Amino acid sequence: METSQTTSLAQSLYCAEQLQRSEARAGEAAGYSLAQLMSLAGRAVFEQLQHRVGAGARIAICCGEGNNGGDGYIVARLAHQAGYKVDVYALKANTKLDHTGNEPALQARQACRELGLTEQPLLDCLSCSPDLVIDAVFGIGLSRPLEGELAEWVRKLKQSRVPVLAVDIPSGIDADTGTVMGEAVIAETTVTMIAYKRGLFTGASRNHVGHLVLADLGVGQHFVQLEKSDWRRVTDNPYPWLGERPIGAHKGDNGHVLIVGAGPGMPGASVLAMLAALRAGAGKVSVACHPSNVSIIASQQPEAMVHGIEQPEQLTSLLDAASAIVVGPGLGRDEWAFNIYRACMAVNTCKVIDADALYWLAHDPVQSSQLILTPHPGEAARLLKCRTQDIEKDRFAHALSLHNQYHAQVVLKGAGSLISSSRGNWLVDRGSPAMASGGMGDCLAGLIGALVAQGLAPAQALTAGVYWHAVAGEEAGAEGVRGTLASDLMPIIRKLVNGWMPE
């Protein structure tokens, strides 16, 4: 069964400890025992199985020793009774059952044996040439990397390319961080139980989860009453934050964005930020750049105003006139760039800090709630003085660290971008691999700057900007993920900031 998808349950993200602590209590509140919850979970997976393969198909069901395995044994029984060809593979095949342990899981396993479904070793799960594999080996409680025979089992599944339906979470994925622990199953579909686990939505897990189905088992709303969610998904179009533009509006009502960047030989990034700011609705957009780039940038869009800056003193009037400042696209890392950066940081106007400005921020730190930081993992590592792989091991913790250390509004970009801000912690699970091309970050920076200029609070502008940028990337990449350009997002951004959303 799929959840009713109320807003609270659809947005809320939890860690494994919360599920382990309160799933039984949520079940009790709904009038279910643990055995009944397990039965409901198995049925939810079986229903997804039916959507993917017809009766008579051969199903290899891989089961572990805990509750996840119990769910798998229930699927095996239901599939067998429905006419599927079922083969059961166990982590510890044909072991003597000790009924002092996990009783519901043991009962489910015993029921399979009574039906004549014998258990075979896990590594043999492809010997039956299955049409579908059910991964019910490890759930959210896994705390160690998969090694030895378990790692070999995962590698065989990957090489086979047989579709996998994962129970709760693909085996080998950390439920809290989304990292791969040694090896991890790549699922075509994952059916997760009761509530969303936050690790399913970001980092490496995005390559393993496949289509995600939430089966709340009729207890999800009880669970959200018991446990607070520290991270939430952005699920609604943020257009109401901007609202309708008054009939009598003029350009001065809609803000002035100043793009500061474009050092010698690097005009392109500032052009993209400029175009995004214009298409996102800013009343005026100016670009402050190295004098060598003025003619190049000015030729790209006549509506923008372009100023050559040799000395930081020349920025003063431009900074004073700006409603929002975007610092960094193509700025560079030479003395000119540093002096320009310092001049921008001296004013109190809200600033989007991107690209090379993040480099300078790491070397010359500033703390302010008026800063909006947009790092990718490598830039985040520089800001926190750690390694990129450290960031990716726990994106949630490092997004929070950036917010706390710089007192800023922060997005940690990547698959499942994380926003840590003064208005809460959010995850944007939109976007497309089509966005894996140069200039996308410059486009995002200009978009956010325009939203600030039009009156959104920094945290609001960041959240709306990241969400719309991701949706625009999906639409731009709809005809194929290869060859999509950042400039392809511009007409879509224009539609999004006017209230349009794809169906």
Determine if residue 145 is labeled as part of a ligand binding site.
Answer: yes
* Strand, coil or helix: 62: strand
Determine if residue 323 is labeled as part of a ligand binding site.
Answer: no
Determine if residue 407 is labeled as part of a ligand binding site.
Answer: no
CB 178 within 8 A of CB 199: yes
Determine if residue 144 is labeled as part of a ligand binding site.
Answer: yes
Rounded-to-integer distance, Cα 388 and Cα 397, Å: 13
Rounded-to-integer distance, Cα 104 and Cα 116, Å: 19
Determine if residue 178 is labeled as part of a ligand binding site.
Answer: no
Can you read off the two tokens belonging to residue 53? 């393969």
Determine if residue 415 is labeled as part of a ligand binding site.
Answer: yes
Determine if residue 376 is labeled as part of a ligand binding site.
Answer: yes
Determine if residue 250 is labeled as part of a ligand binding site.
Answer: no
E-strand stretches of 266-322 = 284-289, 305-308
CB 440 within 8 A of CB 493: no
Determine if residue 69 is labeled as part of a ligand binding site.
Answer: yes
Determine if residue 67 is labeled as part of a ligand binding site.
Answer: yes
Determine if residue 168 is labeled as part of a ligand binding site.
Answer: yes
Determine if residue 12 is labeled as part of a ligand binding site.
Answer: no
Determine if residue 356 is labeled as part of a ligand binding site.
Answer: no
Which is it for the CA torsion 12, 17, 22, 23, positive or negative? positive
Exposure letters 313-326 (e unless 16+ CB within 10 A, then b): eebeebbeebbbbb
Other Cβ atoms within 10 Å of 129 Cβ, number:
10
Determine if residue 429 is labeled as part of a ligand binding site.
Answer: no
CA separation, residue 500 to residues 7, 134, 239, 273, 326 (Å): 20, 39, 9, 22, 25
Rounded-to-integer distance, Cα 501 and Cα 503, Å: 6
Rounded-to-integer distance, Cα 388 and Cα 329, Å: 21
Determine if residue 424 is labeled as part of a ligand binding site.
Answer: no
Determine if residue 414 is labeled as part of a ligand binding site.
Answer: yes
Determine if residue 70 is labeled as part of a ligand binding site.
Answer: yes
Other Cβ atoms within 10 Å of 97 Cβ, number:
13
Annotated binding residues: 67-71, 135, 139-145, 168, 171, 269, 330, 376, 413-417, 441-442
Annotated binding residues for AMP: 413-417, 441
Annotated binding residues for K(+): 68, 135, 171
Annotated binding residues for (6S)-NADPHX: 67-71, 139-145, 168, 269, 330, 376, 442
